[in-house]
Amino acid sequence: MIEIRTNDTAKIDRLLGLCEEHRASLGIGSESCVHRLPSIEQVGKIAGQVEDMTVVTPITPQNHYGRVLEYIRGLPRGIRLVVNDVGVLYALHRDGGLDGFEAIAAGRGIVHTSEACPWVDHLVRDESEEVKAAFLQTNLNYSRTLEFMKGMGISAMETDLESRTIRAAFTTGLPVAGHAEFIAVSYTRSCHTARYYGEVPPSCVQRCNSPIELELVDMFDLSGTPPGFAQPSPEMLEIYPTLHLMGNTVYFKSDCKDTTGLERVILNADMYDVDILEEKILSFRSWE
């Protein structure tokens, strides 16, 4: 299954058309920003128009903790819920707030993987095969963590569509969804996009409807006298990819397309123009 995902409610009508045309699922919400959640009323309206729907809830700062708990409690049941915050997951499980959802998936905010580092192969290049294999697991591959998460209601997981990460994820026995093309490198507590535009959340939410490209221009050099910023070396430029910033999340682009065994492939509609998104759907449909 392909899932088209967005945190921009203005795109919903066009995306609903794509979902119907290409037999795709729809996901809405945010992994990392509480200000990008659709309203409960919007979710209810959309859920009535699709057969399969996912709502994504974010990594949650303490001052928004109660708000996100109440938000999830108010969602219509029968949908697939993605949780990215362990504290939120624990509180809802404790209070019975997860009952009635079709599935509870651990999102990328919970399922960390070292392969999401753009230069991971340089970090492990001198290590033994045993160390490499251990390093490239997801954190749910640790049996105690996996049982803890399953005990709190987790019945599926999401991770990045990177070959070694996906192989590791399969060994958990959970259904696995893979985020295609754009790999989540990091989430920032202080939003880069808001700071760039000099705005204070939530007044900045309209800035997060399309990505910004980031390139390495200079880097801090401790060897200088005095230490300061310097031009990166050719070797560093060679291994440093173009990064993509959207909201408070940094991504890099992966060309992995092996979707074998995945429960669903997630395409982030906010990273593409809508016409290009349709090409991506057809591309990944051909790999099913």
> Is the pLDDT score of 188 beyond 80?
yes
Confidence at 184, pLDDT banded by 50, 70, 90: very high
Q: What does the block give as tokens for 70?
A: 């109440």
- Give percent of the chain above pLDDT 90: 67
Residue 224 has pLDDT above 80, yes or no: no
Share of the chain above pLDDT 70, in %: 99
Output the pLDDT for position 124. Answer: 87
Residue 162: is its pLDDT beyond 80? yes
> Which amino acid makes up residue 214?
L
Say yes or no to pLDDT of 152 above 70.
Answer: yes
- Give the pLDDT confidence of 39-77 residue by residue, as tens digits: 999 999 999 899 899 999 999 999 999 999 999 999 999
From residue 31, give the alpha-carbon distance in Å to each of 108, 112, 186, 199, 220: 7, 13, 11, 21, 30
Name the residue with higher pLDDT: 225 or 64.
Answer: 64
Mean pLDDT, residues 189-201: 90
Give residue 225's pLDDT. Answer: 79
Altogether, the residues listed in the chain come to a count of 288
pLDDT at 288: 60
Do 29 and 79 touch, CB atoms closer than 8 A? no
Instruction: Enumerate the β-bridge partners of residue 41.
Output: none
Asked if the model's pLDDT at residue 186 lies above 80, the reply is yes
Q: Which residues contact 120 (CB under 8 A, 6 or more apart)?
A: 114, 136
Assess whether pLDDT exceeds 80 at residue 106.
yes
Q: Which fold has domain 2-187+244-285?
A: TIM Barrel (3.20.20)
Q: Does residue 286 surpass a pLDDT of 70? A: no
User: Measured between alpha carbons, how far is 166 from 184 in angstroms, rounded to an integer?
Assistant: 14
* Runs of H (alpha helix) within 125-207: 129-135, 143-151, 163-170, 192-197
Residue 66 is encoded by which pair of tokens? 């109660």
Which sequence spans correspond to the domains of the chain? 2-187+244-285
The stretches of 29-162 forming alpha helices (DSSP H) are 40-47, 65-73, 86-95, 120-123, 129-135, 143-151
Residue 241 has pLDDT above 90, yes or no: no
Count the Cβ atoms, other than its own, within 10 Å of residue 167.
Answer: 15
